[in-house]
Chain A
Amino acid sequence: MKEEVKLMKGNEALAMAAIRYGADGYFGYPITPQSEVLEKLEAEMPWDTTGMVVLQAESEVAAINMVYGGACCGKAVMTSTSSPGFSLMQEGVSFMAASEVPALLVNVMRGGPGLGTIHPSQADYFQATKGGGHGDYHMIVLAPSSVQEMTDFVALGWDLAFKYRCLSMILTDGLIGQLMEKVVLPEQRPRRTEEQIRQQCPWAVTGAKGRKNNIITSLELDDDKMEANNNRFQATYREIEKNEKRCELVNCDDADYLIVAFGSQARITMKTMELAREQGIKVGLVRPITLWPFPDEHLRQAAKNVKGILVEELDAGQMIEDVKLAVDCKVPVEHYGRLGGNVPTPDEVLDALKQKFNIVSK
């Protein structure tokens, strides 16, 4: 299938992108606001075309362990869920990180904590970027802010996961999941053959014909060996930090104030920036695309000559910690965010910016 222009929800585009990538398997359990991912996959029936497995597991715990199994075999496997579902998956996530297996995990966030609401939130930032599961591990966390990026980050996520033998996560929310926009779907890639998987993933359990068997486990009772494992994980993370920081900077060159926002909120604050500039307030937008590794150098550069930074996020102040670390507290940093599934309008963020930094518009 060739490239195609479509009008689609973020969730649907994500499902299509998985099929087009040549994915081997999707394992999930329905939860609002991302149920369209599984629905779209089942409607498309890729098992008849590419041979991709789509399976509704009995729970999130089962789904993540199916992903673990597929990943150990070098398959391109994924799951998607929303906040409470991702909490249930944390044991599997930590085990996969310790086993150094690649997979794509998607969290379409909703308001928490607890079962919370079904409406947009970004309050799983800490969980995604600082752990969530136990132990010293990281996932590459990608934050799409459009339906096009929901599509593009599927391929990017898997490519990075296979490159570093790590987990990639797409961290988005109900707003981007439910939003319909124009999207260009990529050309269909063929699924890799077993032989190609053996070549790409010599570590995978692919049947030990003519070679020593590969053992994949997160258990290592010898402390020295476990320390060596940890040192190897950390070396990978340093390599990822060196190569994979991504960020979009808009109108930062002449900016007096910066707004830092990711995902859906970068869309809201893009409009805030337009409104501010109409009023003569020079605002620039910093949009971290990778939340881990956090694009601290981009931010430091953009913040060199500004009077203040407003971090707008749908939580009580999580990314703001990374922003403060990045600028070493040399610039005043303030937070604004709505909670519990509410989303601010662009005007509301502009009012907050003016109020926090005592800006009088011309």
Chain B
Amino acid sequence: MKEEIIIAGFGGQGVLSMGKILAYSGLMEDKEVTWMPSYGPEQRGGTANVTVILSDERISSPILNSYDSVIVLNQQSLDRFESKVKPGGVLIYDSYGIHTPPTRTDIKIYKVDATEASFEMKNAKSFNMIVLGAYLKVRPVVTIENVLKGLKKSLPERHWNLIPMNEEALKKGMSLVVDV
């Protein structure tokens, strides 16, 4: 098993932490994992992306040219990464603010209205977990149990009270994702 993923969006959307939770979940399943951020002055407002690889074997390059799964959270990222999905691969996007939707026909395209859902949940911070839920529904590369375990590993103990909210957001994402 090997899954090569890129998550891209605005800084502040939780792109890097979503990748981190995914990487931790892989670790819980005893997989080899890499997490490579685009680091730099893009904490807020600019674009941020992270490449996560989960594999049963030793991982060679943490930087790739094409991906099994691409998760894009704004128009700029969609424009940049739609062409980078491997044929037969998966593209997931949040439709909020998207004026030019993806058009490729040789990949599987899914939409999740995570921004709106996070507004409804009155919790903007649940956004990235809704997206992660949507992704795991489409590509069940790790189990929800292990995501929650991974979350526990990546969060300091004082934030463990947030885990139930994150679980709810994951499930919300799973129910919201639609095939386009």
B35 adjacent to A268 (CB under 8 Å)? no
A271 adjacent to B61 (CB under 8 Å)? yes
Q: Is B166 an interface residue, CB under 8 A from the partner?
A: no
Main DSSP-derived SS at the B contact region: mixed
Q: Is A282 an interface residue, CB under 8 A from the partner?
A: no
Task: State which residues 55-76 of B face A: CB under 8 Å.
Answer: 59-65
Quick one: CB contact mask for A268-283 with B, threshold 8 Å, 1 for yes? 1111111000000000
Given A271-B60, A346-B64, decide whether A181 and B40 contact each other with a Cβ distance below 8 A: no
Interface residues on B, range: 20 to 34
Task: State which residues 25-57 of B face A: CB under 8 Å.
Answer: 27, 32-37, 39-40
Task: Looking at the assembled complex, report how far the CB atom of B80 sits from the nearest CB atom of chain A, in whole angstroms.
Answer: 14
B60 adjacent to A267 (CB under 8 Å)? yes
What residues of chain B lie closer than 8 Å to A175, measured between beta carbons? 36, 62-63
B62 adjacent to A7 (CB under 8 Å)? no
Q: How far is the CA of A5 from the CA of B31 in the complex (A)?
A: 12
What residues of chain A lie closer than 8 Å to B24, measured between beta carbons? 7
Q: Is B23 an interface residue, CB under 8 A from the partner?
A: yes
B residues contacting A by CB (< 8 A) are: 20, 23-24, 27, 32-37, 39-40, 59-65, 153-154
B63 adjacent to A180 (CB under 8 Å)? no
Q: Is A119 an interface residue, CB under 8 A from the partner?
A: yes
Q: How far is the CA of A347 from the CA of B153 in the complex (A)?
A: 35
Task: State which residues 149-206 of A face B: CB under 8 Å.
Answer: 174-175, 178-182
Task: Looking at the assembled complex, report how far the CB atom of B104 sits from the nearest CB atom of chain A, in whole angstroms.
Answer: 19
Task: Looking at the assembled complex, report how far the CB atom of A131 sits from the nearest CB atom of chain B, in whole angstroms.
Answer: 30
Quick one: CB contact mask for A1-25 with B, threshold 8 Å, 1 for yes? 0000101000000000000000000
A346 adjacent to B65 (CB under 8 Å)? yes
In-complex Cβ contact of A179 among B35, B60, B153, B154 (8 A): B35
- Give how many A residues have a beta carbon under 8 Å from the other chain's beta carbons: 26
Closest residue to B28 on the A side, CB-wise?
Answer: A7
In-complex Cβ contact of B23 among A7, A119, A174, A272 (8 A): A7
Q: Is A28 an interface residue, CB under 8 A from the partner?
A: no
Task: State which residues 17-56 of A face B: CB under 8 Å.
Answer: 32-33
Cβ-closest 10 pairs across A and B: A271-B61, A270-B60, A180-B35, A345-B65, A271-B60, A347-B65, A268-B61, A178-B39, A346-B61, A7-B27
Given A178-B36, A180-B35, decide whether A343 and B65 contact each other with a Cβ distance below 8 A: no
Q: Is A118 an interface residue, CB under 8 A from the partner?
A: yes
Q: Could you give 24 example pairs across A and B, Cβ below 8 Å?
A: A7-B27, A7-B154, A33-B39, A118-B39, A119-B39, A178-B36, A178-B39, A179-B62, A180-B20, A180-B34, A180-B35, A180-B36, A181-B35, A181-B59, A268-B60, A268-B61, A271-B60, A271-B64, A274-B60, A343-B63, A346-B64, A346-B65, A347-B65, A348-B65
